[in-house]
Amino acid sequence: MSIDNVTARISEIQARLAQFATVRTSASTSGGFATELSARVGGTATAGSVSGDAVVAEARKYVGLPYIWGGTDPTKGMDCSGLVQVVYKNLGYDLPRVSNQQAKMGTPVASMAEAQPGDLLAWDNSSRNNGVDHIAIYIGGGKMIEAPRTGLDIRVVDVPSTPDVIRRIIDQPATGASPVSARAAAGTPYADLINAAAARTGVPANLLAAVAKQESGFNAQAVSPAGAQGLMQLMPGTAKGLGVTNPFDPAQAIDGGARLLRSLLDKFGRTDLALAAYNAGAGAVSRYGGIPPYKETQNYVRNVMAMVS
């Protein structure tokens, strides 16, 4: 069997497996998607609750990560549809696994002239496949983020040609509204404070909640043997630098932890590296050029990423 035949057979199998995805394709019809989505995520991802800019910010975290065919691990590598699924899942949207199903979700956008940041751009590039076989996230200005192919990293590139399909998964909030990332799950301790900090900083609320759980088990009075304090386990010097006068106050701790995570996400561009820096320090991540070879830090990153995946 030739390589082309093997590739075609793999694509056919993927398409058939997609039919069994947990998200029903009926949710792709106009008006049905929001209802389906609300039912699947407890009503947290309502229309307008996530901005296109938030989608772009989430997608940018993975720029530089290797392309891995079939990959969905944001710490190791992803393919094009894996990237789309992970980005939207982190923002509260449950999309199918494969590109040809993702390209049927949300609502259609008529042309690139009407495309907005966060929209999905998709192409049917191969006659061997049935439907869309490549998908990317539009970031505005004629550019997109894509996981291209084996041997290349996730990257920002110019939109190469007119997409065959453009779909809008989220609705833009009213002008001036603060972008809100994925909300903390129902029943999460301090959920209101976490959601408010997420809205101010753009750090996904589920990530903030996962860090608080990993750091202190949601114990606002926790103190580590090293002297880290409060819900977000801020060291006294770090807390002072963030303007946190009382790290045992949940509101101050969560706000300070969110601003620290925001700065680390902006510095390193990836969630796993930001988490490693939160645990081991930004200097250690820069020195090793990635997650430091410390067992504690590696377990920390693995545990937190598992909570938000």
Task: Say whether 58 is catalytic.
Answer: no
**In sequence order, which ranges of 22-140 are alpha helices (DSSP H)?**
32-40, 52-60, 80-90, 99-102
Q: Are 82 and 71 in contact (CB under 8 A)?
A: yes
Q: Which residue in 12, 36, 215, 296 is the catalytic one?
A: 215
DSSP summary character for residue 50: S
The structure tokens listed for 27 are 């949710």
Cβ contacts of 239-248, under 8 Å, gap ≥ 24: 248/220, 248/221
Half-sphere exposure of 266 (CA within 13 A, CB side): 9
Short-list 204, 157, 223, CA closest to 304? 204
Backbone dihedral angles phi then psi of residue 132, each to the nearest 5 degrees: -60, 140
**Helix 271-280, helix 250-268: angle, nearest 10:** 120
Residues contacting 74, CB < 8 A, separation 6+: 61, 62, 65, 86, 270, 271, 272, 305, 309
Strand partners, 168: 107
Q: Are 168 and 161 in contact (CB under 8 A)?
A: no
Which residue type occupies 308?
A: V
Q: Catalytic residue positions?
A: 215
